[in-house]
A and B are shown apart, each in its own frame.
Chain A
C-alpha cells in the first residue's frame, strides 16, 4: 500500500515554463488536496476535489490548474511559472474530509 505518491520530488523551472506535478493515491479516497508550504510557514490550500470530476478553488489558486478524471489521480498544473511559485507542494487525500488526511512526501519546486 503506497499511500499518496508525488512526483517529481525536486524540480527547477525557468520563469515562464510549464509543468505538471503528479499525485496518485491507492486508498480509494474521495477527497484530494493540493497545498503549498513556503519556508517557515504553514500550508495553504491551492485546490481540492471531493470526487472524480469535481474540483474547487482553495485559498491560493491563481497560477494553477487541476483536473480529477479518476479517483486515484489529482495532477496540479503550473502554466507560466513565476518565482513566487517557489515552494514545497504537498498532495493529500482523505476518505471523507480533511480529517486524518494522508500527505505525500512533497515536491520541492524552485523557479529561477
Chain B
C-alpha cells in the first residue's frame, strides 16, 4: 500500500547549525501533512502542519516545505539546540479520511555540542 517514508534514519547536527529532515510520500491524494517530535519515553508532540495548497509554512525556528511535484516534505530547524534531539516523524492524510494519519518511520536527530 501507499506509505510515507523518510530518506535518513539518523541525522547528526552540530549545535547552532540548521537541520533539514526529509520525508517522501507516495499517496498523491494526500493533502495534509504534519511533523511530530518524539522525545525518548514520551508521546509525539505536534510541531507544524501544512496543507497541499501551500508550499511553505513557518513556525518558531521551524519551517516546513512541501514539493507536490516530487511528493517531498521537509522540516527545517534553525539554530539547532540540544533540546531538539529527538525522533521526528512526518505524517500524511487526505480529506476523504481526515481522521486517519499515516506516519513515516522517523528520523533521529542528534545534536552534538
Binding site for B on A (CB under 8 A): 4, 31, 33, 40-45, 48, 50, 56, 58-59, 90, 92, 97-106
Number of interface residues of B (CB under 8 A): 22
Given known pairs A58-B100, A59-B100, the reply for A42 and B105 (CB within 8 Å) is yes
B99→A98 contact, CB < 8 A: yes
A100→B89 contact, CB < 8 A: no
Residue of B46, B89, B99 near A97 (CB, 8 A) is B99
Compute how far the CA of A112 lies from the CA of B104 in the bound complex, rounded to whole angstroms. 28
Compute how far the CA of A40 lies from the CA of B107 in the bound complex, rounded to whole angstroms. 10
Residue of B41, B43, B104 near A103 (CB, 8 A) is B43
Compute how far the CA of A102 lies from the CA of B32 in the bound complex, rounded to whole angstroms. 17
In the assembled complex, how far is the CB of residue B10 from the closest CB belonging to chain A, in whole angstroms? Answer: 11
Q: Report if B30 contacts A (CB, 8 A).
A: no
What number of A-B contacts does a CB cutoff of 8 Å give? 60
A42→B98 contact, CB < 8 A: no
Which residue in chain B gives the minimum CB-CB distance to A58?
A: B100
Q: List 21 A-B contacts (CB under 8 A).
A: A4-B43, A31-B99, A40-B106, A42-B89, A42-B104, A43-B44, A43-B101, A45-B101, A50-B99, A59-B100, A98-B32, A98-B34, A98-B93, A98-B99, A99-B34, A99-B46, A100-B49, A102-B46, A103-B43, A104-B43, A106-B41
Binding site for A on B (CB under 8 A): 4, 32, 34, 41-46, 49, 89, 91, 93, 98-106
Lowest 9 A-B CB distances belong to which pairs?
A: A103-B43, A42-B103, A43-B103, A98-B101, A100-B46, A97-B98, A42-B105, A48-B99, A90-B43
Compute how far the CA of A104 lies from the CA of B46 in the bound complex, rounded to whole angstroms. 12
Residue of B4, B43, B89, B100 near A98 (CB, 8 A) is B100
Starting from the known contacts A42-B103, A97-B99, A98-B32, 11 additional A-B residue pairs (CB-CB under 8 Å) come to A42-B89, A42-B91, A42-B106, A43-B91, A45-B101, A48-B100, A59-B100, A98-B34, A98-B98, A98-B101, A105-B42
